[in-house]
A and B are shown apart, each in its own frame.
Chain A
Amino acid sequence: MFEETLFQSSRAGEQFVDILKKQGIVPGIKVDTGLQPIDGTDGETATQGLDGLADRCKRYYEQGARFAKWRAVLKVDSDKCPSSTAILENAHGLARYAQIAQANGLVPIVEPEVTLGPGDYSIERTAYVSEKVNSHVFRLLNEYNVILEGILLKPNMILPGLDVPTPSPEEVAKYTVRTMLRSVPAAVPGIHFLSGGMSEEEATLNLQALQAYGPTPWSLTFSYGRALQSSTLKIWSGKESSWKAAQERLVALAKANSEAQLGKYAGPHPSPGGARILQALRLGGAGK
């Protein structure tokens, strides 16, 4: 959740964190304060949020949060991005955040997103870059004595640039699992993929395809934002009368992905044939 949401309640006055806990859903909290450009780079970003992070974590823990999340974004192209500056800056931010979160009782989700973007860079290029980024991230997590048994990883699946035809789930799975085997020590208990710009159906089919490579030392599962909410939001459209239908869509999407991470998704998809769900990188910090 975002900070505002962590402290909100239902109209009937029940705290959101309590509603979630009753459902067996653990409340988590986004603790980064957004992206800022790194000067001298080609549109690359750093993630902010270390200042006062320890105190904020304590407050969030008291409110009921039990895990945290920090999103680092790495731009990728065919040759220049990500730069070593961007890699080191983002790996450092993730490592310091993870250390502070663990020191304050929150399990850190470590999210080094090699972001799906414009261009014709190949799936091999994304795989290579993702391995490099992960190598730096783990090197710094180790340097800062982060307990790997107490983190979750939230990486991107391996996809080529937007100008390349969408690869099959089998191809995505092959490169994604290979990258994870090369980058992620067995001590990490879970890998929860981000959906990035994948369509809702693509996110489910790709997740299902990963399971063919099991058993793996870590679970291969999901932490989807856009791929659970995009059509949900459209159905709601702010209308009270569409509330129930929107909730039904959310549950259907969650169920499809829940089955997919067990390798048991059979379809049909609640939201078939959708386009990529792209959003521009928002700079200038969160909390606004």
Chain B
Amino acid sequence: MDESNATCGKRLASIGLENTEANRQAYRELLVTTPGLGDYISGAILFEETLYQSTLAGKKFVDCLKEAGIAPGIKVDKGLVPLAGSNDESWCQGLDGLAARSAEYYKQGARFAKWRTVVSIPNGPSRLAVVEAAWGLARYAAISQENGLVPIVEPEILLDGEHNIDRTLAVAEEVWSEVFYQLANNNVMFEGILLKPSMVTPGAECKERVTPEVVAEYTLKMLKRRVPPAVPGIMFLSGGQSEVEATLNLNAMNQSPNPWHVSFSYARALQNTVLKTWGGNPEKVKAAQTALLIRAKANSLAQLGKYSAEGESEEAKKGMFVANYTY
């Protein structure tokens, strides 16, 4: 739930709401006060504004989360900007002053951090973009650990493109190889990080579609080739998959034991139905919270390999891919 104000504005606009602090506060209050959410969710990534917000009754959001058994986390990157000298690719900013900010976030109650950079297959990716992505993540991770925050390491390989799943696998292997190399060069402790990878799937515009079992096979192959077993947890991003697709793929990956815990860190794939159910209406808060629990529980079962798609709503099956998606 770490959408920046601009991105949160897009979510609110999709249900006809203005992008005001009050609306952002109302939406986030809906999420963090969902009863029983802690049964399925162990951490919540917040945007800076949200980390310092409270409920209307005056209770800090971080306290709501902690009481629910949910660790508060903080998005610390400062977004993507064009990468000079590249093939129209991006790099992620946020290292300036990061140590001091991290220390402040820790004081406010955050216990983990997140930094999302992206790699684009239609644009290459160029070696420059891959090395920059890995280096930025590695510096961020080292600074986070230095300041008591567990870094979530997220190099998202964007879904955009017509490439097939074999191409995605090759790019993912290159990216993760570089990421772990740079993490090691920066003396990051692997037992104290979490990964947030994209699953290995065909590009959004690729004509050859594949089953969840194939996604699982390719994704696990990539992870086994690139992720040291010392890393305790791998929490997948949803990246534009439909809510049901994201859950089915996660379930397929948990049909046999893995060296690391394989789970989820979903934003769109948890919130899509929630937003549409709420629509900004205070009387729909309870129904929206119920919708959130349904998705959270489904994914909770999926990371145990015990999910079944029977009874899922049509809304939950709708894809959420947006070409050239920017946060």
Q: Which residues of A come within 8 Å of B, CB atoms?
A: 131-132, 135-136, 138-139, 142-143, 148-149, 178, 181-187, 216-217
B229 lies within 8 A of A217 (CB): yes
Task: Show 17 residue pairs from A and B whose CB-CB distance is below 8 angstroms, ordered by the A residue.
Answer: A131-B184, A135-B180, A135-B184, A135-B185, A136-B181, A138-B177, A139-B178, A139-B181, A142-B173, A142-B177, A143-B177, A149-B225, A181-B190, A185-B225, A185-B229, A186-B223, A217-B229
B225 lies within 8 A of A148 (CB): yes
B228 lies within 8 A of A181 (CB): yes
7 further contact pairs, Cβ within 8 A, besides A135-B185, A142-B174, A182-B228: A135-B180, A139-B178, A142-B226, A178-B230, A181-B190, A184-B229, A186-B227
Q: What CA separation (Å) do A186 and B223 show in the bound complex? A: 8
Picked from A139, A148, A182, the residue with its CB within 8 Å of the CB of B190 is: A182
Across the two chains, which residue of chain B brings its CB closest to A131?
Answer: B184
Query: Which residues 216-240 of B sit at the A interface, judged by CB distance below 8 A?
Result: 221, 223-230
Q: Cβ of B36: which chain A residues have Cβ within 8 Å of it? A: none
CB contact under 8 A between A139 and B224, given known A186-B259, A216-B229: no
Q: What CA separation (Å) do A182 and B180 show in the bound complex? A: 10
Across the two chains, which residue of chain A brings its CB closest to B258?
Answer: A186
Q: What CA separation (Å) do A216 and B230 show in the bound complex? A: 11
Q: Which 4 A-B pairs have the closest CB atoms?
A: A135-B184, A142-B177, A181-B230, A139-B181
Chain A nearest CB, measured from B238 CB (Å): 24
CB contact under 8 A between A185 and B226, given known A142-B173, A217-B259: yes
Which one of A135, A148, A186 has the highest number of Cβ atoms from chain B below 10 Å of its Cβ? A186
Chain A nearest CB, measured from B275 CB (Å): 38
Q: Cβ of A186: which chain B residues have Cβ within 8 Å of it? A: 223-224, 227, 229, 259
Give the number of chain B interface residues (Cβ < 8 Å).
Answer: 20
Q: Cβ of B177: which chain A residues have Cβ within 8 Å of it? A: 138-139, 142-143
Which one of B184, B226, B228 has the highest number of Cβ atoms from chain A below 10 Å of its Cβ? B228
CB contact under 8 A between A182 and B230, given known A135-B185, A138-B177, A142-B173: yes
Query: Which residues 178-209 of B sit at the A interface, judged by CB distance below 8 A?
Result: 178, 180-181, 184-185, 190-191
Digitize B3-25: 1 where CB-to-A-CB distance is under 8 Å, 0 elsewhere.
00000000000000000000000
Q: Cβ of B226: which chain A residues have Cβ within 8 Å of it? A: 142, 185
CB contact under 8 A between A132 and B230, given known A139-B177, A185-B225: no
Which one of A136, A149, A181 has the highest number of Cβ atoms from chain B below 10 Å of its Cβ? A181
Q: What CA separation (Å) do A153 and B223 show in the bound complex? A: 18
Across the two chains, which residue of chain A brings its CB closest to B221?
Answer: A187
Q: Cβ of A132: which chain B residues have Cβ within 8 Å of it? A: 184
Chain B nearest CB, measured from A83 CB (Å): 15
Q: What CA separation (Å) do A181 and B223 show in the bound complex? A: 14
Q: Cβ of A143: which chain B residues have Cβ within 8 Å of it? A: 177
A185 lies within 8 A of B184 (CB): no
Digitize B34-72: 1 where CB-to-A-CB distance is under 8 Å, 0 elsewhere.
000000000000000000000000000000000000000
Across the two chains, which residue of chain B brings its CB closest to A135?
Answer: B184
Picked from B178, B181, B185, B228, the residue with its CB within 8 Å of the CB of A185 is: B228
A181 lies within 8 A of B184 (CB): no
Q: What CA separation (Å) do A136 and B190 show in the bound complex? A: 16
Q: Cβ of A178: which chain B residues have Cβ within 8 Å of it? A: 230
Q: What CA separation (Å) do A217 and B180 show in the bound complex? A: 18
Q: Cβ of A149: which chain B residues have Cβ within 8 Å of it? A: 225
Across the two chains, which residue of chain B brings its CB closest to A136?
Answer: B181
Q: What CA separation (Å) do A127 and B190 show in the bound complex? A: 14
Chain A nearest CB, measured from B148 CB (Å): 21
Chain A nearest CB, measured from B127 CB (Å): 11
Picked from A131, A138, A142, A185, the residue with its CB within 8 Å of the CB of B224 is: A185
